[in-house]
Amino acid sequence: MSDYRRNYIKGGTYFFTVVTEKRRPILNNPLARKCLREAFCHCMQNHPFTIDAIVMLPNHIHAIWTLPEGDADYSKRWGIIKKNFTQSWLKQGGSEVSISKSKQRYYRRGVWQRRFWEHTLSSQADYNQHFDYLHYNPIKHGIVKHLSDYPYSSFHRYVKQGIYSADWGTHYEPNFGFNELNNLE
């Protein structure tokens, strides 16, 4: 068993990677995108947070969240989102992969990987690197050649705000300045 300890900082800003079970590309499905949007809205009603940036790829999500002052419970939020998504997805005909008897004993379903990866953003430079990494992901994975062609990303919001140019990331690969993220996917 891993000895990993999560870092909980009240009002903190975090980078997350959440992956589908066995990396199935279910998030390509319009129903999955609808269920995910509804799961986020449902969670945010009782457990608010700010989504600073997000990208939804076929088999994983990267997100940067900022939690309210006095609150550090991002694990509860991801649990609510994943549970709500799974229930809605399966109820509306979405599929799951078969899982072991031991996972079934713990009421697991074959939709999401059990855990998620989290990194506490500790400085503006750290934030900027993860922000760019998140938005560059559709190009990194060969899904598109131009980020402006990928609709499931907050990239478009930041183009409108003038933070990115519409062709950002098209002609070069940004230097993110860290290695741990290269092993996430």
Phi-psi region of 70 (alpha: psi -120 to 50; beta: other; left: phi over 0): left
Cβ neighbours of residue 33 closer than 8 Å, sequence gap 6 or more: 27, 56, 152
Beta strands in 40-170 (DSSP E): 50-56, 60-66, 117-120
Helix (H) or strand (E) segment spanning residue 19? strand 13-19
Give the Cα separation of 119 and 13 in Å (integer). Answer: 9
Catalytic-role residue among 136, 152, 158, 172: 152
Q: Which residue has the tokens 């990396």?
A: 23
Decide if 152 is catalytic.
Answer: yes
Of the candidates 26, 44, 18, the one whose C-alpha atom is nearest the C-alpha of residue 88 is: 26
* Enzyme catalytic residues: 152
